[in-house]
Amino acid sequence: MSVSTPLQTDVPGFTPRTLEVERELAEGKRALHRRDMGDLLVEVRPGVDTLWVIVRRAGHGAVAFKTARNAGPVKISGRATKSGGSWRAEGASGVFVIRLEVLSDTLLRLTVRLTPAADLLVPFWSRDVYPLDGDDRPTKATGRVEAGQRGLNTGLCYFCVEKPAFGSVLYIQDLTSLNPYFAATKTKPDGVVEDEWPELGYQPPTTPMGNSPPVEPLESGGRGRHL
């Protein structure tokens, strides 16, 4: 773990992924579920290729969590429960099962499990955390990352959204629960939780496409694997 320097407001540029997220969230699809979480509001919203879980602080922006990582559109189904909810996102890559648990006024847990439709080769998956301004724009939210994963240490990202003043967020990825994924793809969780604003959080290590080392797919069927 190491402490980073503050991010400046003049970020050099944005990846196509960030711009796609901004355009998608600007469309403002109807939320499937909303619930209070202390002075925060948790919103579950369908996306083009994912299901978004957005945590809002009234008047102070939000943080968006990307769950499913499908290649193309998904069909969303599921329901809310007293503790959170469970949803399915079905697409070309397979079936993603997303579970939301609100554990307290300041703590929530998200789990995502994928059952591939076929033996799945994955050359790339995006990260899963985006700070947002009051209009759901990741390109306009500014702040700093205080700490992040280094090497094979704890998969964490501790960051502060300063403008708007959402505040500090501690994100932790449970790498132990992902061991079956790492074993299946012959990958390692080395620096998989990064801190390149505004694309934060976990990026699953993917099966390399090329001559070496050999490609290892996620096998189809079974109970699925945590992502």
| DSSP labels, 123-148 | S-----EEEE-TTS-TTT-EEEEEEE
Each residue's pLDDT expressed in tens, for the chain with a length of 227 residues: 334 434 434 567 899 999 999 999 988 789 999 999 999 999 999 999 999 999 999 999 999 999 999 988 999 999 999 999 999 999 999 999 999 999 999 999 999 999 999 988 877 888 999 999 999 999 999 999 999 898 888 999 999 999 999 999 999 999 999 998 888 888 889 999 987 899 999 999 886 655 455 557 788 876 556 67
Instruction: Give the pLDDT confidence score for residue 214 in this predicted structure.
Output: 53
Instruction: Give the pLDDT confidence score for residue 67 in this predicted structure.
Output: 96
Phi/psi for 107 (5° steps) reads -140, 130
Sheet holding 193-196, edge to edge: 33-37, 40-46, 51-57, 62-66, 129-132, 199-202, 193-196
Instruction: Name the helix (H) or strand (E) containing 51.
Output: strand 51-57
Q: Which of 124, 135, 123, 133 is nearest to 28 (CA)?
A: 135
What total of structural domains would you count in the chain?
1
CA distance 172 to 157: 7
Instruction: Give the pLDDT confidence score for residue 183 in this predicted structure.
Output: 87
Instruction: Give the pLDDT confidence score for residue 187 in this predicted structure.
Output: 87
Amino acid at 81: T
Which residue segment(s) compose the domain that 107 sits in? 2-226
Amino acid at 40: L
pTM (whole model) above 0.85: yes
